[in-house]
Amino acid sequence: MDQEFHPDDFYHRYAEYLSQKQSKTKESYLKNIRPFLTYLDKQSITNPTYHDVERYFDDLINQPSQTHILINDVDYDELSDEQRRALDQFRYKDRTIKSYRNMLNQFFKWLEREGLYENIVQRANNNIPVPHGHAKDALDIEDVEKLLAYLKDANDTLVGKRDYAIVLLAVTTGLRTIELSRANFEDIQRRGLNTVIYVQGKGRREKDEFVIIPRKTKEVIRDYTNFRENQGYMINNDLAPLFASHGNRNKGGRMSTRSISRLISAAYEAVGIHSSKITPHSLRHTAATLSLINGGNLRETQKMLRHSSVRTTEIYAQDLNEDLNTSSQLIEDLIDQSKILKMNEDIAKHDDSE
């Protein structure tokens, strides 16, 4: 299959293919795929991969204003103060993002069927982040404990040590699967009194962001990396992947995001976590939620997740407030209390009549 991506040619050929459909349907399909092609052009991406699809949707959700400016060629300096305020508050609607995803998948499905290009949207599906108003959930603390206990029990093998380290790091720092995949051995460093991991965040070319690694998590990672070197599996040089593949096909190579997602999903399955709303990306939601539940403030949680705007982090707090909303229970308690009071009144009236 020709892996050269020719956006204009592919777009016009797809438009011709869609000519057999009603004009409104054709217009809708093309309108929803054009932003992605513009995004690629603006980012100078010539042959997109599924990682680029993941970053695109991540930017739509977590950096909506900047992404809107990028793909619509908006000159921010030319906007009025009112327009700037409106743009700063801008978010893509859930249904818009879902339409982008569905129509883009149809486009790449057609490209693959025609032998023109791989369906990178389908390959990225498990790691495409979920729009706000999360259709995907965080794990509760009981599920986290169950998951980590299971992985810790299997922590006597090389793969077991690695898998335990991956999940523990993800759930305590909120790292994305792509950031776990990109991490090198040298990325864990001392910074002041803390041990941190430098990460290449979404849309970035350098590892210029860092997250503090908790003490026990650091020990679990060190246990894995020491074990693999001491047992002669691989040498921990600076550019060695922090989390390596230990299968025969890619022994010592970097784990892909798909492999990391697969091991997380397998761990869910093993401990009985069955929900379409729980995905590998849920570990990031879980880190945010647990941070806020345990007293972390919005700014601290924002820094851990590396959100460009605290408004993105506020969504987790809003979801948490909804989860903690006891209004319905208060109403039920009030009804029960009213019944008890009425019953007591009836008893008192009965006693008075006697």
The closest of 318, 293, 284 to 58, measured between CA atoms, is 284
Q: What are phi and psi of 212, to 5 degrees?
A: -75, 135
Among candidate residues 176, 182, 218, 285, the one labeled active-site is 176
Between the alpha carbon of residue 339 and those of residues 203, 295, 328, 351, the distances in Å are 59, 38, 17, 18
d(CA 2, CA 164): 39
d(CA 103, CA 21): 14
Active site residue 55: no
Among candidate residues 101, 281, 285, 306, the one labeled active-site is 281
Active site residue 307: yes
Among candidate residues 307, 311, 339, 350, the one labeled active-site is 307
Place of tokens 């849309």: 203
Residue 336, both tokens: 């029960």
In sequence order, the 6+-apart residues with CB closer than 8 A to the CB of 85 are none
d(CA 195, CA 184): 15
Could you tell me if 252 and 245 are in contact, meaning their C-beta atoms sit under 8 angstroms apart?
A: yes
Active site residue 316: yes
The closest of 279, 94, 82, 257 to 182, measured between CA atoms, is 257
If DSSP codes are grouped into helix, strand and coil, which group holds residue 137?
coil
Q: How many angstroms separate the first and last alpha carbons of the chain? A: 95
Active site residue 176: yes
Could you tell me if 149 and 171 are in contact, meaning their C-beta atoms sit under 8 angstroms apart?
A: no
d(CA 1, CA 108): 13
Torsion of CA 333, 337, 343, 345, to 10 degrees: -160
The closest of 139, 69, 134 to 97, measured between CA atoms, is 134
Among candidate residues 51, 202, 218, 306, the one labeled active-site is 202
Among candidate residues 182, 284, 285, 306, the one labeled active-site is 284
Could you tell me if 211 and 229 are in contact, meaning their C-beta atoms sit under 8 angstroms apart?
A: no
Write the Ramachandran bin of 295: left for phi over 0, alpha for psi from -120 to 50, otherwise beta: left
Active site residue 109: no
* Residue positions annotated with a catalytic role: 176, 202, 281, 284, 307, 316
